[in-house]
């Protein structure tokens, strides 16, 4: 246990930080979902281990939740992906990064709890029954295609591919699904993508579909290009066709193209209301529209002063941010610094995957006498970049003044107003 709230039912029962929970009412726990499910009654017994000794504690939960936080959500380990997807981004990472970055999770529990995308290829009948019984909805599913041969080519699942059958079983049981399709040029776009969307739109429980382009690094030999202006425009045209039908039948756009497609095609982003609450936001869809709308609403609060300010960002977002900066009056001393991703290379240009070394190198080469604002999206929960650098490391290596700020438009505007 990472924390037991003072005075909570768990505290009164004798549970303390550092205790290891072994079972509830005699049944071992697989994850935090088991804990939530089995402690939902008025009372329960918890078996804990402390200092090598086991104790059974009785918890009276009539006054409210137990008041326990764990240091992780999975107690039996993360379920790994056993597929061999041709486009797997994790498989394209360079050697020498921290071990956690190489974990290819395919765990339905993380899909429910954190929105991680899963393939459904490793779900057992027992898993499906649990999902249905405990109403673990919605789930986030990487489908990519429905054509069996295309799926074999893209996903290369180990053993029988029952993903479509499993998804239909979940949908029939009332589980909502958000679908991701990684579009690979010439493989699952065009007619194949149309077939996939026609299959999915017939299933009411499929609440949204997000289409993202192939991403590749320089640390592989399979891919050397992804989408360009023309092919990205074709994706958007197909998406727009299905959106029009979906708005008429479902009242929402339903299918959404990743921001990268609009940037590549040079096509304006849809208005915010057509993103329907941004159901695919964590999949990188709608980030630009959301940021732009939030920034434009906050502009009156920005009062730039004389100090030189440089906004650090990835190459993909730099043109958008530069255009927004020009909307602020009197910002001659405000500029945007696009940082190339030399660690990963390929077509990786998003801000969130920038390495500390790349940021420090770009800042040092820029040489501005002022403050560099670095969005916190480049840092993980331990305040480390992809290559394990801290903000202080970047500042020391770049020999420049750096401030880490929030990644939203409101965060940026608030910071600009303070400087």
pLDDT digits (tens, 9 = 90+) for 305-324: 767 899 999 999 999 999 99
Closest CA to 409 of 341, 323, 337, 333: 323
Mean pLDDT of 45-57: 95
Distance CA(14)–CA(33), nearest Å, equals 22
Length of the chain: 419
In this prediction, residue 180 carries a pLDDT of 99
Closest CA to 296 of 320, 264, 266: 320
pLDDT confidence bin for 344, thresholds 50/70/90: very high
Closest CA to 199 of 236, 234, 147, 247: 147
Distance CA(282)–CA(178), nearest Å, equals 11
Report whether pLDDT(151) > 80: yes
Is the C-alpha dihedral spanning 8, 14, 19, 25 positive or negative?
Answer: negative
Least confident of 32-46, 173-187, 319-333: 319-333
Report pLDDT digits (tens) over 365-374.
999 889 999 9
Given strand 371-375, what is the order of strands in its sheet?
334-339, 309-314, 371-375, 401-405
Strands, E, within 29-138: which ranges? Answer: 43-50, 53-60, 68-69
pLDDT confidence bin for 417, thresholds 50/70/90: confident
Phi, psi of 21 (to 5 degrees): -80, 125
Report pLDDT digits (tens) over 67-107.
999 999 999 999 999 999 999 999 999 999 999 999 999 99
* Cα end-to-end distance, the chain, whole Å: 41
Q: Half-sphere exposure of residue 207, counting CA atoms within 13 Å on the CB side?
A: 16
In this prediction, residue 418 carries a pLDDT of 84
Mean pLDDT of 152-181: 96
Mean pLDDT of 241-253: 98
Q: DSSP 3-state helix, strand, coil percentages of the chain (rounded to 5)?
A: 40, 20, 45
In this prediction, residue 159 carries a pLDDT of 84
Distance CA(354)–CA(267), nearest Å, equals 26
Mean pLDDT of the chain: 96
For tokens 């990064």, what's the residue?
97
Report whether pLDDT(304) > 70: no
- Residue 48: both structure tokens together: 């804990």
pLDDT confidence bin for 303, thresholds 50/70/90: low
Report whether pLDDT(123) > 70: yes
Using a cut of 0.85, tell me whether the model's pTM lies above it: yes
Percent of the chain with pLDDT over 70: 99
Mean pLDDT of 292-301: 90
């Amino acid at each position: 246990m990472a924390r037991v709230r003072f005075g909570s039912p768990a505290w009164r029962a004798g549970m303390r930080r550092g205790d290891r929970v072994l079972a509830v009412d005699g049944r071992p726990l697989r994850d935090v979902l088991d804990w939530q499910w089995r402690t939902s009654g008025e009372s329960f017994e918890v078996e804990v281990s402390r200092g090598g000794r086991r104790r059974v504690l009785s918890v009276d939960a009539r006054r409210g939740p137990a008041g326990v936080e764990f240091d992780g959500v999975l107690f039996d380990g993360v379920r790994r992906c056993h597929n061999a997807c041709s486009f797997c981004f994790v498989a394209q990472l360079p050697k020498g990064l921290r071990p956690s970055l190489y974990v290819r999770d395919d765990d339905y529990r993380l899909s429910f709890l954190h929105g991680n995308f899963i393939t459904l290829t490793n779900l057992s009948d027992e898993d499906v029954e649990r999902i249905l019984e405990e109403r673990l909805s919605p789930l986030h599913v990487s489908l990519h295609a429905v054509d069996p041969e295309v799926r074999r080519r893209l996903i290369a699942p180990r053993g029988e591919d029952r993903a479509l059958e499993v998804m239909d079983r979940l949908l029939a049981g009332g589980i909502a699904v958000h679908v991701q399709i990684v579009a690979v040029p010439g493989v699952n776009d065009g007619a194949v993508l149309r077939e996939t969307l026609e299959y999915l739109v017939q299933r009411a429980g499929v609440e949204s579909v997000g289409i993202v382009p192939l991403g590749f690094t320089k640390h592989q030999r399979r891919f050397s290009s992804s989408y360009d202006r023309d092919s990205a425009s074709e994706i958007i045209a197909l998406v727009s066709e299905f959106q029009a039908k979906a708005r008429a039948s479902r009242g929402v756009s339903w299918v959404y193209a990743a921001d990268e497609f609009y940037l590549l095609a040079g096509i304006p982003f849809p208005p915010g209301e057509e993103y329907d609450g941004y159901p695919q936001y964590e999949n990188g869809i709608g980030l630009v529209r959301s940021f732009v709308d939030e920034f434009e609403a906050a502009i009156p609060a920005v009062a730039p002063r004389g100090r030189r300010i440089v906004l650090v960002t990835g190459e993909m977002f730099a043109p958008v941010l530069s255009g927004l900066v020009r909307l602020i009056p009197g910002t001659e001393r405000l500029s945007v610094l696009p940082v190339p991703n030399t660690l990963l290379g390929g077509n990786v240009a998003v801000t969130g995957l920038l390495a500390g070394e790349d940021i420090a190198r770009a800042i040092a080469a820029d040489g501005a006498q002022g403050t560099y604002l670095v969005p916190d999206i480049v840092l993980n929960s331990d305040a480390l970049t992809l290559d394990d650098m801290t903000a202080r490391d970047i500042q020391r290596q770049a020999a420049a003044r750096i401030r880490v700020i929030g990644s939203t438009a409101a965060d940026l505007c608030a910071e600009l107003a303070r400087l």
